[in-house]
Amino acid sequence: MDMDQHRYLITGAAGFVAPHFLRLLQTQEPGAQVLGVDLNPPTWTGAGVETQTLNLLDRPSVEATLQAFHPTRVLHLASVSSVAVSWKAPVESFQNNTNIFLHLLEGLRKLEIPARVLSVGSSEEYGRVDEAHLPLTENHPLNPGSPYGVARVAQEQLSQVFAEGYGQDIVMTRSFNHLGPGQKAQFVVSSFAKQMAEAKKAGLKQFTLTAGNTKVVRDFLDVRDVVHAYHLLFQGGTSGQVYNVCSGVGRSLDEVLTLLARICGLELTVDVDPALVRPNELMTIVGSAQKIHQAVGWVPELQFEQSLRDLVEYWQ
């Protein structure tokens, strides 16, 4: 077997990120075999590409899938990745982050499948940080502020311990805010883009948008840059190491709104609804992308405005 002919298992195949990773693979590794799994998997077409229904909480099924497919690389995207959902259903959130991941790792270990695993984590692991410490480097202490954040920290620490204790090949990320075509409207920027795309389509020139605190600054990355980073980490990341996947640039929601209004040709009024302002929300979160840059040479390639244009187009 050509060493480059990898067998990719992708969990969370029905999510936002997976199809972008698949598209990248089809360009860069046309010979790769891909199995996408999810509770309700999408239909993927193309040579060497298949999908399968799989509940990662069902350990025997996880092992059967691993045994049958024998991946060389595992991209673990499956996650109940909403902070809000984790406050409403903390047990389910925890299980569908930490426990599902542990089932995967333990299945690979028991079956002695030496796959490289990419454990996708979140900037939510940092939690409450002092703005004096921005941009956040990977050495910054983890102080998660939600059940979701705790679940992601546990996932990362389990990765660390499995890599060191059992010698498994596991690379970890802390991925910051994503945006891009295909993103659901439950995420703030996608929601803004959807509303303005619809206003534009309706021929409006003026639009009033209701929002929470638009002064908050976040580190946004186009999903196509994200999957490029993941692909490079599969190739050149170091097992047992964690990498921020972020732009290194902070942008306020005000800035995002101004750009979206310009793209849609709208005169925008923002109506701040105090009910949408989250208590104790961190004003600014920005990561440092130095480590991943030095390790695998990754830099974000898409211009932020282009990402917003593509997101607006997606909603149109």
Binding site for its own copies (CB under 8 A): 59, 87, 90-91, 94-95, 98-99, 102-103, 105-106, 141, 144-147, 149-151, 153-154, 157-158, 161-162, 164-165
φ, ψ for residue 159, nearest 5 deg: -60, -50
CB of 21 to its own copies, least distance (A): 27
Least distance (Å) from its own copies to the CB of residue 105? 8
CA atoms of 35 and 94, how far apart (whole Å): 25
Report the sign of the C-alpha dihedral through residues 57, 59, 64, 69, in that order: positive
Contact 194, 315 (CB under 8 A): yes
User: Given the complex with its own copies, which of 29 and 125 has the nearer CB atom?
Assistant: 125
> In this complex, which beta carbon is closest to its own copies, that of residue 98 or of residue 123?
98
Burial class (CB in 10 A: 0-12, 13-18, 19+), 47: exposed
Distances (CA, A) of 44 to 10, 20, 110, 251, 253: 12, 12, 29, 34, 34
Nearer to its own copies, 149 or 250 (CB): 149
316's CB contacts (< 8 A; 6+ apart) are 197, 200, 201
* Whole-number Å distance between alpha carbons of 269 and 290: 37
**φ/ψ of residue 50, rounded to 5:** -140, 165
Q: Who contacts 165 (Cβ-Cβ below 8 Å, separation ≥6)?
A: none
Closest CA to 263 of 228, 304, 233, 216: 304
Residue placing its CB nearer to its own copies in the complex, 34 or 150:
150
Q: How far is the CB of 129 from its own copies (least distance, A)?
A: 14
In whole angstroms, the minimum distance from the beta carbon of 298 to its own copies comes to: 27
At residue 68, the 3 state secondary structure works out as helix
CB of 158 to its own copies, least distance (A): 5
Q: In what order do the strands lie in the sheet with 116-122?
A: 49-53, 33-38, 7-11, 73-76, 116-122, 169-175, 242-245
Using the minimum distance from each CB to its own copies, give the nearer residue, 95 or 290.
Answer: 95
Residue (160 or 252) nearer to its own copies, CB? 160
Q: Please, what is the minimum distance in Å from the beta carbon of residue 124 to its own copies? A: 11
Q: Which is nearer to its own copies, 26 or 95 (CB)?
A: 95
Write down the least CB distance from residue 166 to its own copies, Å.
8
